[in-house]
């Protein structure tokens, strides 16, 4: 006899566990299964945008996050070569966004979210891999696990980039993008700074993210270009140090610190949308969509998606039109993610930043509200197209063509690229170009001591 639930959630991290919590609190019979043993890491840095923290707050998770020692992040800075902007107290970020950022290690965050799902009444089964889908008349009716079948009215794939549910349900990928960067990160003890400040930046062809995290540790991540992959992978420890050295203030605050544990590396990934739903199944979080991690969106996206999906499921299973609810949610997801997907792709593209983009950024942050606008884009409050407009690129081009006439040829090529991308993406909107699902389409991580 198979166990029977209303909803079976595959994957118990920042998409799966909050969804299980929300549904169980609404009285649904929920089972959440994960092949991992918890607590455990997943290959990811973990700056959580305020919009994601707001969801965690509504879930009741923020007090638990505070108890981990992770400081609330309400200040920071962004560097793009010689363009530098401080996000200081004058921006009143928490007041404006409703929440601070947090940077909590996934080994800590995911356990805490899983505990909440269990407390809400969801049945939690870890170290239990889903190996197959049960179907009846073309409708998914449950899953196979090593411990036996589990049936449910709805199967949710919250099982990350290498989603077994997506693969087995035949969800196709569309708008696929190639990786621009690889990511190296580690934790440090004894950093000069422990207050809640985030550092973001790109110097030359290396991007950076750094912030204090839970347990009194400091997280530093660098993202060199995929073009330099072999060099960075041949000695990741040295690669991380070289990357950090590009950012003087970061190098300075880490000077007295000691690295704790290995350097984490993530080099193999790609960006995609996946068909989000079909008869008896739906995908949420990275299982359904993944974008370049450079702007740090994935955790907040997963949380926002889940908060929108939970009421659709409750309504659909409560006698409403479940398929219609899920289809509407899937359309919302694509629309919600569209602009940020391409913004992230551009931000993380390999190569040095075009002088046109640097000039746009310089112009933006030279205005008092510009720094805030940039953060509002990262927080999903303002669409990238409202801030980084083609007209601004044209103005920057015109200005640079006058002040740096010798680079006119390169500037013209850059402008063509920017405008060409814009035109192509407008043409793609609402018209998915499907790819056959890639085998092993997920990310692959390494730990390098």
Based on the shown chain and the rule CB under 6 A, indicate whether residue 44 belongs to the binding site for ligand FAD: yes
From the CB of residue 55, how many other CB atoms can be counted at a distance below 10 Å? Answer: 24
Based on the shown chain and the rule CB under 6 A, indicate whether residue 281 belongs to the binding site for ligand FAD: no
Encoded one letter per residue, x for contact with ligand FAD by CB under 6 A and - for no contact, window 74-113 reads: ----------------------------------------
Q: How far is the CB of 322 from ligand FAD (least distance, A)?
A: 21
Contact 433, 174 (CB under 8 A): yes
Single residue of 70, 299, 364, 375 touching ligand FAD by CB under 6 A: 299
Encoded one letter per residue, x for contact with ligand FAD by CB under 6 A and - for no contact, window 171-190 reads: ------------x-------
Q: Which stretch binds ligand FAD (CB under 6 A): 29-37, 171-179, 325-333, 395-403?
A: 29-37
Q: Which is nearer to ligand FAD, 153 or 297 (CB)?
A: 297
Give the whole-angstrom CA distance, residue 134 versus residue 280.
10
For residue 180, what is the DSSP state? Answer: -
Contact 419, 390 (CB under 8 A): yes
Size of the site for ligand FAD (CB under 6 A): 38
For 210, how many CA atoms within 13 A lie in the half-sphere containing its CB? 32
Based on the shown chain and the rule CB under 6 A, indicate whether residue 48 belongs to the binding site for ligand FAD: yes
Residue with token string 């918890």: 38
Q: What is the CA radius of gyration of the chain?
A: 22
**Per residue in 204-229, is it b (16+ CB within 10 Å) or e — as a string?**
ebbbbbbbbbbeebbbbbbbbbbebb
Based on the shown chain and the rule CB under 6 A, indicate whether residue 198 belongs to the binding site for ligand FAD: no
Based on the shown chain and the rule CB under 6 A, indicate whether residue 36 belongs to the binding site for ligand FAD: yes
Alpha-carbon dihedral sign for residues 96, 214, 15, 42: positive
Q: Which stretch binds ligand FAD (CB under 6 A): 13-21, 134-142, 253-261, 319-327?
A: 13-21
Q: Which is nearer to ligand FAD, 188 or 269 (CB)?
A: 269
Q: How far is the CB of 190 from ligand FAD (least distance, A)?
A: 23
Residues in CB range of 277: below 8 A, 6 or more apart: 283, 323, 326, 327, 329, 330
Q: Which is nearer to ligand FAD, 375 or 411 (CB)?
A: 375
Q: Which stretch binds ligand FAD (CB under 6 A): 172-180, 290-298, 356-364, 423-431?
A: 290-298
Single residue of 21, 30, 35, 111 touching ligand FAD by CB under 6 A: 35
Q: Which is nearer to ligand FAD, 172 or 268 (CB)?
A: 268
Q: How far is the CB of 14 from ligand FAD (least distance, A)?
A: 5
Phi (first) and psi of residue 395, to 5 degrees: -60, -45
Hey, which residues between 116 and 155 contact ligand FAD (CB under 6 A)? Answer: 129-130
What is the bridge-based pairing of β-strands 30-33 and 3-10? parallel
Hey, which residues between 248 and 277 contact ligand FAD (CB under 6 A)? Answer: 266, 269
Single residue of 8, 9, 14, 312 touching ligand FAD by CB under 6 A: 14
- Closest to 395 (Cα-Cα) out of 413, 417, 411: 411
Q: Which is nearer to ligand FAD, 218 or 269 (CB)?
A: 269
Q: Which is nearer to ligand FAD, 308 or 399 (CB)?
A: 308
From the CB of residue 324, how many other CB atoms can be counted at a distance below 10 Å? Answer: 12
Q: Where are the beta strands (DSSP E) in 20-107?
A: 30-33, 47-48, 75-80, 83-87, 102-103
Residues in CB range of 387: below 8 A, 6 or more apart: 364, 373, 374, 376, 377
Give the whole-angstrom CA distance, residue 22 versus residue 222.
35
Give the whole-angstrom CA distance, residue 157 versus residue 165.
5
Based on the shown chain and the rule CB under 6 A, indicate whether residue 294 belongs to the binding site for ligand FAD: no
Q: How far is the CB of 208 from ligand FAD (least distance, A)?
A: 12
Q: Which stretch binds ligand FAD (CB under 6 A): 24-32, 41-49, 330-338, 422-430?
A: 41-49
Q: Which is nearer to ligand FAD, 296 or 355 (CB)?
A: 296
Alpha-carbon dihedral sign for residues 362, 367, 371, 374: negative
Residue nearest to ligand FAD (CB): 298
Q: Which is nearer to ligand FAD, 91 or 210 (CB)?
A: 210
- The residues of the shown chain that bind ligand FAD, judged by CB under 6 A, are 10-16, 33-36, 42-48, 129-130, 158-160, 164, 183, 266, 269, 285-287, 293, 296-300, 302, 443
């Amino acid at each position: 006899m198979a166990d029977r639930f209303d909803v079976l959630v595959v994957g118990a991290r920042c998409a799966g566990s909050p969804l299980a919590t929300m549904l169980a609190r609404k009285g649904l019979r929920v089972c959440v299964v994960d092949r991992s043993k918890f607590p455990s890491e997943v290959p990811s840095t973990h700056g959580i945008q305020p919009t994601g923290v707001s969801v965690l707050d509504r879930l009741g998770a923020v007090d638990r996050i505070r108890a981990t020692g992770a400081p609330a992040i309400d200040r920071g800075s962004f560097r793009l070569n010689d363009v530098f902007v401080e996000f200081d107290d004058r921006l009143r970020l928490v007041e404006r966004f409703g929440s601070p950022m947090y940077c909590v290690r996934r080994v800590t965050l995911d356990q805490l979210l899983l505990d909440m799902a269990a407390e809400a009444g969801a049945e939690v089964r870890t170290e239990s891999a889903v190996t197959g889908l049960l179907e009846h008349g073309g409708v998914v009716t449950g899953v196979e696990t090593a411990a036996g079948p589990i049936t449910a009215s709805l199967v949710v794939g919250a099982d990350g980039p290498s989603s077994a549910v997506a693969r087995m349900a035949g969800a196709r990928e569309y708008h696929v993008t190639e990786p621009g960067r690889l990511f190296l990160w580690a934790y440090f003890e004894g950093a000069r700074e422990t207050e809640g400040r985030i550092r973001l930046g790109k110097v030359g062809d290396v991007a950076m993210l750094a912030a204090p995290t839970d347990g009194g540790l400091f997280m530093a991540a660098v993202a060199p270009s995929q073009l330099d992959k072999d060099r960075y992978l041949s000695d990741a420890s040295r690669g991380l140090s070289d990357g950090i050295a590009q950012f003087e203030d970061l190098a300075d605050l880490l000077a007295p610190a000691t690295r704790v544990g290995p350097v984490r590396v993530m080099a193999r990934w790609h960006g995609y949308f996946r068909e989000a739903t079909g008869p008896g199944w739906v995908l949420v979080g990275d299982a359904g969509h993944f974008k370049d991690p450079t702007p740090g969106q994935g955790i907040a996206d997963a949380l926002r998606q889940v908060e929108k999906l939970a009421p659709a499921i409750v309504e659909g299973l409560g006698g409403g039109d479940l398929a219609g609810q899920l289809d509407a949610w899937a359309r919302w997801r694509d629309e919600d993610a569209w602009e940020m997907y391409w913004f992230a792709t551009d931000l993380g593209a390999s190569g040095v930043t075009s002088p046109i983009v640097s000039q746009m950024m310089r112009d933006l942050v030279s205005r008092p509200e510009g720094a805030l606008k940039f953060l509002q884009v990262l927080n999903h409050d303002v669409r990238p197209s409202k801030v980084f407009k083609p007209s601004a690129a044209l103005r920057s081009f015109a200005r640079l063509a006058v002040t740096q006439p010798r680079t006119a040829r390169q500037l013209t090529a850059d402008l063509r690229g920017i405008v060409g991308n814009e035109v192509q993406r407008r043409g793609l909107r609402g018209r998915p170009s499907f790819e056959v699902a890639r085998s092993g389409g997920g990310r692959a991580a390494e730990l390098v001591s």
